[in-house]
Amino acid sequence: MFDYQFFIEVLVGGLLSGVMYSLVAIGFVLIYKTSGVLNFAQGAMLLFAALTFVSLVERGVPFWLALSATLVIMVVLGITVERTVLRPLVNQSPMTLFMATLGLSYIIEGAAQLLWGTQVHGLDLGIDDVPFEVGGVLISQFDLFAAAIAGTLVTTFALFFRYTRTGLAFRAVADDQFAALAVGLRLPRVWAAVWTAAGIVALVAGLLWGARLGVQFSLSLVVLKALPVLVLGGFDSVAGAIVGGLLIGAIEKLAEVYVGPLFGGGIVAWAAYVVALGFLLVRPSGLFGQKLVERV
């Protein structure tokens, strides 16, 4: 007999962990939308933010001070990246820029661990990870908290894009770089702002993931969890990142529980990729991605 309650529990757990994936994916989308760069360094930024925050807290810096200090550091990082990496590489092919972010991820990972050491840090955000029951289904309190944070973040960004001048500039640049330049928008400034925004997303995601997994090198590997999400949702859609994250989270958990035993388990490593790939073969630009127009 099929155990529906268990199924729903797995599904809800998957959806909630999917929120965490979305959180990482949103950082990618922000940068991809406005500058056409697939920023592989997003994972490294996440690690860097979480590691900096934890190390500050461990050295006795109060929570809010550490948070603001890390925020400032991420802003500086965003501006530095724009200055030293993006500006000299303007007008290069997307692949060149992607490779540059690969290099960037190595630099940030190396620097983060050189600065703060390679040991694992525990991170306590003050939220108990106690599951509670809703209609017979166990739900993790921490996951709900993460979902709430993600929801707030997305809403803030949505409002920001909708109602501020900087947000308008973001959308203009995302829509058409040349037109944006022609009406006098300063691309470098927009890019610095968008990398800063991605840095903030990285900080939030880093803290949540860090509280879950412990702050350590493997944190930068969550980037690999976010890639299938992006493929599924489309690289340039925030909505896609959210829906894609939820889908991947749910599919991954369900596959591990129901399909995994057929292969002897451990399929989490690639299940998401296979699903994303299969999907791509049907819709090459993802769920919400922009259609590519082919011209010679």
Partner 1 sequence: MTTAAHPVAGRRLTANHLGIAVLLTAAYGVIPFAGSDYLLDAVLTPFLALALAALGLNLLTGYAGQVSLGSAAFLAVGAYAAYNFNLRVHELPFLVSLVAAGRVAAAVGVGFGLPSLRLRGFYLAVSTLAAQFFVQWALTKFGWFSNDSPSGVIDAPPLAVAGITFSGAVGRYLFSLTVVVISTLLAIRLLRSQVGRNFIALRDNETAAKVIGVPLLRTKLLAFGVSSFIVGIAGVLWAFAYLRTVEPAGFNLDRSFGILFIIIIGGLASIRGAVLGAAFMVVFPLLLSRLGAALLGDIFNSGVLEMSQRIVIGALIIGLLIAEPRGLIALVDRLAEPILRRFSRPLSRSTQS
Q: Residue 218 has what DSSP assignment?
A: G
236 binds partner 1 (CB under 8 A): no
Which region, judged by CB under 8 A, interacts with partner 1, from 131-139, 151-159, 201-209, 222-230?
222-230
Asked if 106 interacts with partner 1 (CB under 8 A), we say: yes
Q: Long-range pairs for 53-61 at CB < 8 Å and ≥24 separation?
A: 53/123, 53/203, 53/206, 53/207, 53/210, 54/116, 54/121, 54/123, 54/210, 54/215, 55/115, 55/116, 55/117, 55/121, 58/121
For residues 7 and 98, which CB has a smaller minimum distance to partner 1 in the complex? 98
Alpha helix (H) residue ranges in 117-234: 141-163, 165-175, 177-182, 187-213, 222-233
What is the 8-class DSSP label of residue 221?
G
151 touches partner 1 (CB under 8 A): no
Question: Measured from the CB of residue 121, what is the shortest distance to partner 1 in angstroms?
Answer: 15
Closer residue to partner 1, CB minimum distance, 1 or 282: 282
User: Please, which residues bridge with residue 215 across strands?
Assistant: 121
Write the binding mask 4 to 43 for partner 1: x where contact by CB under 8 A, - elsewhere.
----------------------------------x-----
Cα dihedral 235/240/246/252 (nearest 10): -40
Give residues with Cβ within 8 angstroms of 241, minimum separation 6: 22, 25, 26, 28, 29, 229, 230, 233
Question: Which of 100, 187, 207, 215 contacts partner 1 by CB under 8 A?
Answer: 100
231 near partner 1, judged by CB under 8 A: yes
Residue 262 makes contact with partner 1 by CB under 8 A: no
- Find the binding residues for partner 1 in span 118-147 (CB under 8 A): 118
- Choose, by CB under 8 A, the member of 52, 105, 177, 216 that binds partner 1: 105
**Closest by CA position to 38, among listed 28, 49, 23:** 28
280 binds partner 1 (CB under 8 A): yes
Compare residues 12 and 226 and give the one whose CB is closer to partner 1: 226
Write out the two tokens for 52: 């900096």
Residue 114 engages partner 1 in binding (rule: CB under 8 A): yes
Tell me how far apart the alpha carbons of residues 237 and 45 are, in angstroms, rounded to a whole number.
21
> How many Å is the maximal CA-CA distance in the chain?
65
Phi, then psi, of 93 in degrees rounded to 5 = -70, 155
* Span interacting with partner 1, options 157-165, 182-190, 200-208, 230-238, rule CB under 8 A: 230-238
Shortest CB 195 distance to partner 1, Å = 15
**Which residues of the shown chain bind partner 1 in the complex (CB under 8 A)?**
38, 84-85, 88-89, 92-96, 98-100, 102-111, 113-114, 118, 224, 227-228, 230-231, 235, 263-264, 266-267, 269-270, 273-274, 276-277, 280-281, 284-286, 292, 294-296
